[in-house]
Amino acid sequence: METVDPRMPGAPGWALPSGAFDCHTHVFGPYERFGFTHPTPYAPPLAPPSLHREMLRRVGMSHGVLIQPGAYGTDPSALLAALQDANGALRGIAAATGSVPERTLADWDAAGVRGLRFVEMLAPSGTGRYPGSIGTEELEALAPLLRNLGWHAEVWATVDQHVALLPRLRASGVPVVLDHLAGIAPGRTVEDPAFQAILDALREGWLWVKLTLCRASREFPDYPDIRPFHDALIAAATESLVWGSDWPHVRMGALAPDVGHLLDLFGDWVRDPGLRERILVHNPAVLYGFDNATISKQEERV
């Protein structure tokens, strides 16, 4: 299999708070152990757990969240192996259909999985969702299991799709995280009714949004068009936001960002140290099931 090397970051220009999380990353490979179960619309990156750990170390982060890529379908073997090697510093978001055995989810929970991902975003071909991804139609059957485990759902879709889904997501009774700045359309304004509907739902307390910039804008590398949306999310619900890089940035080619630069943008856009710490440390600790004492102990081992 021909692979591509992910872009490795430089260090950000400011010191991140102790226990910081990158809440949206992926591992791929090693492929002799973890081959894809579905075709991909992108060149496979070689991003095994060791390289993922090095990426986090370079930017000063001690914790991360691994998101199941569609190319692995509902087989979390690569993700689970990375969690096993992480000494408790990582959490995982897997993928499953409503037919998954409850015992399987319990085993994943013990390994560090804390939720399931659902995708409505179309693949670049426009012929359907990304191969291997699971749609939100499975959430109704899975919701009771998620509630029992204390898990949440993560959804990747456009802002308009998210708004159409809000009643169903709210009715699931589980916390829901919207990926990639809630799929905003930067050609619109923050007054757009769809974006305002997301803000209203955020204020209800059950919805979360990931501050992940690079999928929401093509204005590389500083993404000025989405700054107003980022500011509006911060103003609406600081306790319901987490930060993610989306490393190793599949399908982005020359537009793949430097994670250190993404953190510099975050530091510039969010100047208050207490607010930075809330978004980078405390919010993800709550969402992904850590406590401050656990984080402190893990920091000592890094």
CATH of the domain at 149: 3.20.20.140
44: left (phi over 0), alpha (psi -120 to 50) or beta: beta
Neighbouring-strand partners of residue 25: 66, 247
CA distance 28 to 215: 19
What is residue 295's predicted lDDT score, i.e. its pLDDT? 46
pTM recorded for the entire structure: 0.94
Whether 3 is covered by a domain: the verdict is no
Domain residues for 99? 21-301
Whether 2 is covered by a domain: the verdict is no
Contact 61, 277 (CB under 8 A): no
Structure tokens at 244: 């993610």
Span 63-116, pLDDT tens digits: 999 999 999 999 999 999 999 999 999 999 999 999 999 999 999 999 999 999
65 SS3 class: strand
**pLDDT at 160 > cutoff 50:** yes
Whether 54 is covered by a domain: the verdict is yes
Span 16-37, pLDDT tens digits: 999 999 999 999 999 999 999 9
Total of domains in the chain: 1
Contact 8, 50 (CB under 8 A): no
> 193-204 and 227-236 helices cross at what angle (nearest 10)?
30
Whether 9 is covered by a domain: the verdict is no
What is residue 43's predicted lDDT score, i.e. its pLDDT? 85
Span 240-263, pLDDT tens digits: 999 999 999 999 999 999 999 999
